[in-house]
Chains A and B, each alone.
Chain A
Amino acid sequence: MVISFEEVSYRYRDRGMSPVLGLDGLNLELEEGRMIAVLGAPGSGKSTLLQHMNGLIRADDGLIRILDFRLASGDGKKIPAGLRQRVGLVFQNPEQQLFEETVEKDLLFGPLNFGRSPAEAAEAVRRAASFVGLDEELLGQSPFKLSSGQMRKAAVAAVLAADPDILALDEPTASLDPASREDLMQRLHGLTRMQGKTVLVVTHRLEEIVAFADEFVVIKDGKVLFQGTAGELVHRQEVLEQGGLMAPSSVRMAGMLAAQLGLEPAEMLPDAAALAEWYAELLGS
């Protein structure tokens, strides 16, 4: 078990008169080396969950174990040494984590801060930039001159450059064009397979991650509403509904086609080829 949450609760106290519940006795166990989709409607607690991963938010109650670190509610605010090096967090708004004069300096900050030599850091930056598909010519520019999509890539690269074991990303594909989105998902999936990293992706779009993640966690009201595979999730209408999610196009189309023909929809892989195959067989038989 690389990550475990036991009865973790957290309340936001800075949002008006009464504390707002972020997490509510949440239990979750995740295995190492997998890509995990964390889904849910806005305000469900999925970002709050992510921010517990590297101690950015400390739980009011409960126990969190990550790698060989232990974060208990009574431990105070001290962050265990090494936690933030091994758990990298990419925030929802990239402009909140970029701060240097140039993109390159921003990307160098992590590796240098964690004690790499300048040469190693430069190499890590080059690899991270090419990994996310960030043009090298942008490295010399101010991060705040970049378009929103380029800024997003820079923020992901900045965290990757520090080479964490666990990578947790909050809505990393918002404002990316669709090809960049699919590309990033593919590459993140690659990190789990080639380098054994654990990758958590918070998203509200099931469609873009359904083909890539190994495991799907749906959060609702600060609790885990569902944990399982894509195949299980896309057919759980009540879970999708409560998570503000829509079944992927293929599943929806399969349902409508089946209804049109007066049939029960079949279970299949969520892509166009599988749906066409199913339909062709149906007509052939």
Chain B
Amino acid sequence: MAGITDKSEHAVKLKHVYYGQGCTNVLKDVSLAIPHGQWVCIAGRNGAGKSTLIRLLNGLLLMSRGRILIDGLELNGRTLGDIRRHIGMVFANPDDQFVGLTVEDDIAFGLENLCLSREEMQQRIRTYAERLDIVHLLQRHPATLSGGQKQRAAIAAVLAMEPSIIVMDEAASMLDEKAKNEMLGLMRAMHAEGRYTLISITHDVEEMAEADRMIVLDGGMVAADGSPKELLLQDDLLRRCRLKAPFALQLCRELKARGIDIGELVREKEVLEALWSYHSKRFLTATGTGG
């Protein structure tokens, strides 16, 4: 349950964490703290250590050195079971996480492990199937769903376990563009609800622009940590993590080069609004009706 055992202000805390395979360190001295309810995106080039980092959080991989605290609980052999109940993981390929013969079985599978009553289980299946708009798919075999439907079913199964921290590893990367857009809408809604801490690995700059915070990994270390609105403006940083500037920002810069200066914005919605007010002001000035 969200926040019940928690006295800590941080959902996730890493202190000097290392992870190494052989003689090479995949993660080197990573320290960071993520407050409850924050939407954090993790960016970085291929091989930067992003997936390794999130797999340490629930013990899918074991760190070589350092400390990890989840909702104030120290991660170790004794707490691992508890901690896994706090964290829901969503991966790129939903096929990797289906176990049931129907979507409903699949959601129930996770709940059975929580030792819930039958009524409570059915209640949760209903609630989360409605939220993810998959009620009509509950009796279907997961293999017969489209990519977007599969990912929604996988997320319903994760949310039904009521974790407080949702970790997504390129959860939209295998979806078509329409389904990807819907997924972003879902993340927005989950964030607005305030009960989830969202940690999302992504290469999508449009998604990054929506997050509260952006953590950039490079060579297994934190290369930058801050507001996406500011970090996405830094060309050298983008180059280092092999990202392209968001389209909105490219457009702002091209407009500025043509004498239309609306500042540097990273979200398309903001550019549209800025251009609207730029246009209105200009119109008012031109017609002498404004001040």
Q: Are A279 and B260 in contact (CB-based, < 8 A)?
A: yes
Q: Are A177 and B176 in contact (CB-based, < 8 A)?
A: no
Q: Are B46 and A253 in contact (CB-based, < 8 A)?
A: no
Distance in angstroms between the alpha carbons of A205 and B257 in the assembled complex: 29
The SS class assigned to the A binding surface is helix
Given A180-B242, A283-B282, A244 contacting B255 (CB threshold 8 A): no
Q: Count of A-B contacts with CB under 8 A?
A: 130
Task: Type the 1/0 row for A246-278, where 1 means its CB is closer than 8 Å to any CB of B.
Answer: 100110110011001100000000011101110
B268 interface residue (CB < 8 Å to A) = yes
- Closest CB of chain A to B210's CB: distance in Å? 15
Distance in angstroms between the alpha carbons of A243 and B176 in the assembled complex: 9
Q: Are A260 and B272 in contact (CB-based, < 8 A)?
A: yes
- Closest CB of chain A to B204's CB: distance in Å? 8
Picked from B44, B45, B141, B173, the residue with its CB within 8 Å of the CB of A174 is B173
Q: Are A273 and B46 in contact (CB-based, < 8 A)?
A: no
Distance in angstroms between the alpha carbons of A276 and B278 in the assembled complex: 14
Picked from B175, B255, B268, the residue with its CB within 8 Å of the CB of A279 is B255
Picked from A244, A271, A275, A280, the residue with its CB within 8 Å of the CB of B177 is A244
Q: Are B177 and A245 in contact (CB-based, < 8 A)?
A: yes
Q: Are A175 and B46 in contact (CB-based, < 8 A)?
A: yes
Q: Which positions in A face B, CB cutoff 8 Å?
A: 15-16, 41-43, 145-150, 153, 171, 174-182, 204-207, 241, 243-246, 249-250, 252-253, 256-257, 260-261, 271-273, 275-277, 279-280, 283
Pick 24 A–B contacts, CB within 8 A, sort by A.
A41-B147, A41-B178, A150-B46, A153-B46, A174-B174, A175-B173, A177-B46, A177-B243, A178-B244, A179-B239, A182-B244, A204-B175, A207-B177, A244-B176, A245-B178, A246-B177, A249-B248, A249-B268, A250-B251, A252-B268, A276-B255, A276-B260, A279-B258, A280-B260
Give 7 new A-B contacts, CB below 8 A, not counting A178-B244, A244-B148.
A42-B176, A179-B45, A256-B268, A276-B255, A276-B258, A279-B255, A279-B260
Q: Which positions in B face A, CB cutoff 8 Å?
A: 21, 44-47, 51, 92, 141, 143-144, 146-148, 170, 173-179, 181, 203, 205-206, 239, 241-244, 247-248, 250-251, 253-255, 257-260, 268, 271-272, 275-276, 279, 282
